[in-house]
């Protein structure tokens, strides 16, 4: 049967940390052909630009499993919560474009893992704020929530490097565009 387990799991060492290092937005449909082995993306064939957003602090990535015995269905809701500090007219434009589109999102954590969110359906901005706080120590920036429902959890991307999360994709031509501080 296709849903039979294949192995057990031991309690792991306490050698990981939480938190996100960066996210990379890729316009929907630009990844090309996706090659997967098990739950890992091993190659992409597209030519695309990945727009890098560095993160520090209050951003998170969650995947909720929803399974119904009555309906015989299972899906994975992927949710990315971003806090982006500092308001600018340039960022206003990009946030607006994110809200209008449904990009694929590569999510990089502090353990060197990179997950691809919204592989099949893209990720939609489902909420957020443009905020300037009350007190001097309050946030002046953006909060965004991106979400998607997929038939599989977000796949790992094979062989990422600290400089390039798509380094292991030998058939892809990737341009990584980093922002500037303004």
Residue 132 β-bridge partners: 140
- In this predicted structure, the answer to whether residue 182 has a pLDDT above a threshold of 70 is no
Distance CA 44, CA 16 (A): 28
pLDDT at residue 144 in the model:
97
d(CA 59, CA 18): 10
Tokens for 157?
Answer: 């991307």
Quick: pLDDT tens for 126-168. Answer: 999 999 989 999 999 999 999 999 999 999 999 998 889 999 8
pLDDT digits (tens, 9 = 90+) for 33-45: 999 998 899 999 9
Read off the pLDDT of each residue in 64-70 and give the average, rounded to a whole number: 95
Using one digit for the tens of pLDDT, what is the confidence trace for 92-131? Answer: 999 999 999 999 999 999 999 999 999 999 999 999 999 9
Q: What pTM was estimated for this model as a whole?
A: 0.92
Mean residue pLDDT of the chain comes to 93
């Amino acid at each position: 049967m296709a849903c039979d387990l294949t192995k057990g799991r031991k309690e792991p060492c306490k050698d990981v940390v939480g938190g996100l290092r960066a996210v990379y937005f890729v316009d929907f449909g630009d990844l090309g052909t996706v090659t997967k082995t098990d739950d890992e993306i091993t190659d992409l064939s597209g030519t695309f630009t990945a727009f890098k957003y560095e993160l520090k602090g209050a951003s998170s990535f969650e995947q909720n499993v929803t399974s119904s015995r009555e309906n015989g269905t299972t899906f994975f809701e992927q949710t990315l919560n971003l806090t982006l500090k500092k308001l600018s007219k340039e960022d206003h434009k990009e946030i607006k474009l994110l809200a209008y589109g449904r990009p694929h999102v590569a999510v990089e954590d502090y353990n060197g893992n990179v997950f691809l969110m919204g592989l099949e359906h893209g990720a939609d901005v489902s909420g957020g704020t443009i905020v300037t706080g009350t007190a001097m120590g309050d946030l002046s920036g953006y909060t965004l929530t991106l979400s998607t429902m997929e038939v599989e959890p977000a796949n790992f991307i094979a062989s990422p490097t600290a400089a390039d999360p798509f380094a292991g994709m030998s058939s892809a031509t990737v341009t990584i565009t980093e922002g500037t501080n303004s």
